[in-house]
Amino acid sequence: MSLLPRTRPKPEAVLDGLTTAVVVLDERLHVVALNTATEGLLGISRSMVLGKALCESIPHFVPLKARLTDANARALSFIERELSLKRGSEPAVTVDCTVTPFGLARQAGLLVEMQALDRHLRISREEWQIAHQEASRELVRGLAHEIKNPLGGIRGAAQLLEVELPSPDHREYTQVIIREADRLQNLVNRLLGPNQLPQNSWLNIHEVVEHVRQLVGAELPPGIELLRDYDPSIPDLYGEREQLVQVLLNIVRNGMQALQAADQGGVITLRTRTQRQVTIGATRHRLAIRIDVEDDGPGVPAEMIDRIFYPMVTTRPEGSGLGLPIAHYLVRRHEGMIECRSQPGETIFSIYLPLDTAS
């Protein structure tokens, strides 16, 4: 009895199972196959490039045309280190590109493999940041618990004292104590974060984004414009509506306050897209929603860009430094991630929410 499978997997299925981006070329350097990872990496679809010349259909490879032609003619392998690939409006990605000749069933060609260096660097940086943020969060939570207990006692004592004081003038002081105790209690509750299990359900992400747009639109100062750029084809997401509203509110308000602090008008854009082959932590997701919150303000200072998701980190004197850490925590509860890219005149917070995490 044979233990071998009766059917072999199709080459396309094998390629799509790889996390490395792969393009297969024939002897004329025409594309005969590519996998899903390549589509995600380069922002293209296979229907656009199959059967076409590589350098014409994927202009990223024009600088390598001479080396590819030589490798094909002489059956030589080569590696192009740190090749920068531009992707339209998307940020460029840096890859190591390995080219290997092959010959199967009387057909010769080249196998082009692209390993995204940015992905590995980002995974390492993200894991490091998550570990540090969790440590910071646990420290802050411990301090918040220590503060919370005496706060209740202070407020209760002020209420008792208010009853005993005969003079209304003196009661003003107890009211100050009570108000400040309530303010600190609210701050402590924000530090502790949500303590309930999320009430997940299927939801339309545009309903969430539109709700936030309406809330923020009512408080926009003169000179600041809120725009939208949605992809209507995005499927429903399994998540908790109120938590996602809070995430977007915190990030949009952060952009609005940055524009206000710079004493300038500006534009905040809410953008939705789908993205294929997204790696979050150690998990690679086939499809994710990406929500961009972009503003044209002064940008995040370079020395703060790696710390903006830590508690109590803020550039504003009146800021609590809790909005972005809370947003980061709530996105992590959805098995997603937030990235920030910033330079003067352009700051983009990108929220990635995987579409394959419903249980």
Give the CATH number for residue 247: 3.30.565.10
pLDDT at 317 over 60: no
Is 6 within the bounds of a domain?
no
Give the tens place of pLDDT for each residue, 117-173.
766 666 666 666 666 666 666 666 666 667 777 888 888 888 888 888 877 777 788
Clarify whether residues 253 and 349 are in a common domain: yes
Q: Identify the weakest region by mean pLDDT among 17-31, 189-203, 222-236.
A: 189-203
User: What does the H/E/C string look like for the chain?
Assistant: CCCCCCCCCCHHHHHHCCCCEEEEEECCCEEEEECHHHHHHHCCCHHHHCCCEHHHHCHHHHHHHHHHHHHHHHCCCEEEEEEEEEECCEEEEEEEEEEEEEEECCEEEEEEEEEEHHHHHHHHHHHHHHHHHHHHHHHHHHHHHHHHHHHHHHHHHHHHHHHHCCCHHHHHHHHHHHHHHHHHHHHHHHHHCCCCCCCCEEECHHHHHHHHHHHHHCCCCCCEEEEEECCCCCCCEEECHHHHHHHHHHHHHHHHHHHHHCCCCEEEEEEEEEEEEEEECCEEEEEEEEEEEEECCCCCCHHHCCCCCCCCCCCCCCCCCCHHHHHHHHHHHCCCEEEEEEECCEEEEEEEEECCCCC
Instruction: Provide the mean pLDDT of the chain.
Output: 82
pLDDT at 189 over 80: no
Clarify whether residues 174 and 88 are in a common domain: no
Q: Using CA atoms, how far apart are residues 253 and 256, in angstroms rounded to an integer?
A: 5
Is 185 within the bounds of a domain?
yes
pLDDT of residue 31: 93
Q: In which band, very low, low, confident or very high, does the pLDDT at 350 lie, cut at 50, 70 and 90?
A: very high
Is 1 within the bounds of a domain?
no
Average pLDDT over residues 238-254: 91
Clarify whether residues 79 and 32 are in a common domain: yes
Give the tens place of pLDDT for each residue, 283-310.
778 889 999 999 998 888 888 877 787 7
pLDDT of residue 207: 95
pLDDT of residue 141: 65
Clarify whether residues 222 and 80 are in a common domain: no
pLDDT at 226 over 80: yes
Q: Identify the weakest region by mean pLDDT among 26-35, 46-55, 191-200, 301-310.
A: 191-200
Clarify whether residues 107 and 181 are in a common domain: no
Clarify whether residues 94 and 223 are in a common domain: no
Is 2 within the bounds of a domain?
no
Total structural domains within the chain: 3
Write out the residue range of the structural domain in which residue 166 sits: 121-192
Is 4 within the bounds of a domain?
no
Average pLDDT over residues 176-186: 81
Is 359 within the bounds of a domain?
no
Residue with more model confidence, 254 or 151: 254
pLDDT at 258 over 50: yes
pLDDT of residue 82: 80
Q: Using CA atoms, how far apart are residues 61 and 57, in angstroms rounded to an integer?
A: 9
Average pLDDT over residues 166-188: 79
Clarify whether residues 239 and 341 are in a common domain: yes
For the chain, report the end-to-end CA distance as a whole number of angstroms. Answer: 40
pLDDT of residue 1: 47
Is 3 within the bounds of a domain?
no
Provide, rounded to the nearest whole percent, the portion of the chain with pLDDT above 90.
Answer: 25
Q: Using CA atoms, how far apart are residues 89 and 77, in angstroms rounded to an integer?
A: 32
Give the tens place of pLDDT for each residue, 81-117.
888 877 666 677 788 889 999 876 567 789 999 888 7
CA dihedral for 6, 11, 13, 19, sign (positive or negative): positive
How long is the chain?
359
Domain finish residue from 163, 192, 221: 192
Those residues whose C-beta lies under 8 Å from the C-beta of residue 282, and which sit 6 or more positions away, are: 123, 127
Is 5 within the bounds of a domain?
no
Give the CATH number for residue 38: 3.30.450.20
Q: Using CA atoms, how far apart are residues 352 and 280, in angstroms rounded to an integer?
A: 8
Domain finish residue from 192, 226, 249: 192
Clarify whether residues 216 and 288 are in a common domain: yes
